[in-house]
Amino acid sequence: MSKGEGKRSTKKSYVAAFVVFQTAIILIFALTVMKSRASVLSSNNSTTSSINMRLLAQVDIKNTNFGHFKYNNSTLTVLYDGWILSSERLSGNGNLGNDINSGILRLRSEGKVHLMKIIKRNKSGVMNCDWSINLGTRQVENLRCN
């Protein structure tokens, strides 16, 4: 083996070691920093106007990922005792009148946001909130979100 072949072999081994090292760094970066996480949804400043109400709420979406998300169709559903207020008839549910007369209306809201990243990883953030409306003061009470 000549002196030139030994240097060439050493250079090849250095290049191979560098490629392996860079691959390991990229893999560690992809598995830790680029790991896709669900976004954090929260709701603030909810107000109501009457029992025939309109709910005004600020919904914040915090992206905890490296990079940006594209927000596709988003939905928010308000439920009363398992009933969807916007699409189900409440006439079959006898508890609504009692809850209105008691002055506290307990509601549940569920929200889901579909997220798509540049790498095309589909994720969705889900928000489930339980809250009560005090009909006397027209304020939201006991707002708990998961």
Rounded to whole angstroms, the Cα distance separating 112 from 81 reads 19
Q: What is the pLDDT of residue 14?
A: 92
HEC secondary structure over 41-91 = EEEEEEECCCCCCCCEEEEEEECCCCCCEEEEEEEEEEEECCEECCCCCCC
Nearest alpha-carbon partner for 69 in 127, 29, 120, 32: 120
Rounded to whole angstroms, the Cα distance separating 21 from 17 reads 6
The arrangement of strands across the sheet holding 83-84 comes to: 56-62, 40-47, 139-145, 122-134, 104-117, 69-80, 83-84
Phi, psi of 63 (to 5 degrees): -85, 110
Nearest alpha-carbon partner for 110 in 142, 133, 85: 85
pTM of the model: 0.35
DSSP element (H, E) containing 112? strand 104-117
Q: What is the pLDDT of residue 17?
A: 94
Q: What is the mean pLDDT of each run of 10 residues along the chain (146 residues)?
A: 71 92 85 61 51 56 57 58 56 56 63 54 63 74 73
